[in-house]
């Protein structure tokens, strides 16, 4: 695969929508933001939603007869439909629950389904590259229920060992929980194939789409995911809001995760009756403006084109991978550039701790991430305590990657 960029995006035009990218720090150096796998920046079009909401129709939803409440309720409900459409869920709002983030979505299913359905002898199958949001959640639920957690191995190339997956997923498997795109290795996992294997054994599959939904077209029905989660702040949206897709028939059978206002239709001193989907899982006053803003982020990304975003991000990652590969003292983790690698690169520079490297990057106004990226067990498997990670999005350029490479050279000279 070559490094010729097809330039599907007008990056300079896109950058105009993100005022934070013009910030200058460290004696007037312009920020180079390469920490998008943690949080993407937010365009003016999404930021403006908050002003429009709080200045124009701020009210609680589903509670008022008055005009403002009606307007807010319609916008909030339509936001559910919009996000369902964005990920290919034909069931609309009934299959799209708003949560705080991917982590809460994982916990919702683990508590609402896992505590009630898992028991001794049951198995939950994860992968060695899972984010702590998945790994810790299912680990702790398994401890409470007596279920076992098993892990699909990662091979030497950074890909899942699919032969091992077929061995692990069996008749005792009740849930397979897998990350769509690894936030450390950049690996794009064959989630549709894993869904087929899971369903052959009457197991559910939960897909963590936090790194996939922002960067590539996602069709939850084509994948045949039973659950699929994502976060607004990784897709040019606000923090504190995420989406959980679930098949309607499964969501109807599950018990609520949280109790309180709006998730009920009738309450007596003795019992309560749950509301329709998705409100059954959205207790209390929700994140109204945030939900509407996340839908606006979906509009913004669709206007650019998800296929174009995928091409741009993966070409930047390939360019960064190839530039980093020029140096013998840099170790890169994950697959080589190709169809199963997404838009981030985790690496280490010999004899320089990742945290020290990130600090030196900061001196050059380059923002990267350093640490275990909420994948401590994976880093143990790799034999390293931490790694540096550069991750890319719609507003990044090759020139910014060149700045990264120059800053790495500064670190190399400093520690020589």
Catalytically active residues are: 374
- Of 77, 147, 144, 158, whose CA–CA distance to 338 is shortest? 158
Instruction: Please give the Cα distance from 1 to 20 (Å, whole number).
Output: 33
Tokens of 333: 């983790």
Instruction: Please give the Cα distance from 183 to 39 (Å, whole number).
Output: 12
Tokens of 400: 């910014």
Instruction: Please give the Cα distance from 4 to 283 (Å, whole number).
Output: 50
- Of 224, 126, 243, 107, whose CA–CA distance to 175 is shortest? 126
């Amino acid at each position: 695969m070559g490094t010729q960029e097809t330039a599907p995006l007008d990056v300079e035009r896109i950058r105009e929508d993100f005022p934070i990218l013009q910030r200058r720090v460290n004696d007037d150096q312009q920020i180079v933001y390469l920490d998008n796998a943690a949080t993407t920046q937010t365009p003016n079009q999404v930021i403006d939603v908050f002003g429009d909401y709080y200045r124009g129709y701020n009210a609680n939803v589903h509670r008022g007869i008055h005009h403002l409440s009606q307007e807010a309720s319609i916008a909030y409900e339509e936001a559910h439909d919009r996000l369902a459409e964005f990920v290919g869920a034909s069931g609309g709002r009934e299959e799209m629950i708003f949560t705080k983030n991917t982590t809460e979505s994982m916990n919702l299913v683990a508590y609402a389904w896992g505590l009630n359905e898992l028991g001794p002898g049951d198995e939950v199958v994860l992968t060695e590259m899972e984010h702590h949001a998945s790994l810790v959640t299912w680990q702790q639920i398994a401890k409470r229920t007596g279920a076992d957690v098993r892990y699909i191995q990662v091979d030497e190339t950074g890909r899942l060992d699919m032969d091992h997956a077929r061995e692990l997923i069996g008749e005792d498997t009740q849930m397979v929980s897998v990350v769509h795109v690894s936030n450390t290795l950049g690996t794009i996992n064959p989630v549709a194939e894993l869904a087929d294997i899971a369903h052959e054994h009457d197991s559910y599959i939960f897909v963590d789409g936090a790194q996939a939904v922002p960067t590539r077209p996602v069709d939850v029905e084509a994948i045949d995911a039973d659950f699929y989660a994502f976060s607004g702040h990784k897709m040019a949206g606000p923090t504190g809001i995420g989406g959980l897709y679930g098949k309607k028939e499964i969501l109807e059978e599950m018990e609520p995760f949280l109790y309180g206002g709006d998730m009920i239709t009738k309450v007596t001193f003795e019992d309560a009756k749950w509301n329709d989907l998705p409100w059954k899982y959205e207790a209390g006053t929700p994140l109204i403006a945030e939900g509407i803003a996340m839908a606006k982020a979906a509009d913004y990304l669709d206007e650019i084109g998800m296929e174009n975003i995928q091409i741009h991000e993966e070409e930047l990652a390939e360019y960064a991978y190839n530039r980093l590969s020029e140096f013998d003292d840099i170790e890169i983790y994950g697959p080589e550039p190709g169809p199963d690698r997404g838009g981030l690169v985790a690496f280490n520079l010999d004899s320089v701790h990742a945290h020290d490297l990130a600090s030196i990057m900061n001196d050059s106004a380059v923002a990267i991430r350093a640490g275990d990226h909420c994948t401590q067990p994976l880093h143990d498997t790799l034999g390293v305590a931490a790694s540096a990670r550069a991750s890319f999005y719609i507003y990044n350029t090759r020139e910014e990657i060149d700045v990264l490479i120059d800053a790495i050279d500064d670190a190399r000279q400093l520690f020589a």
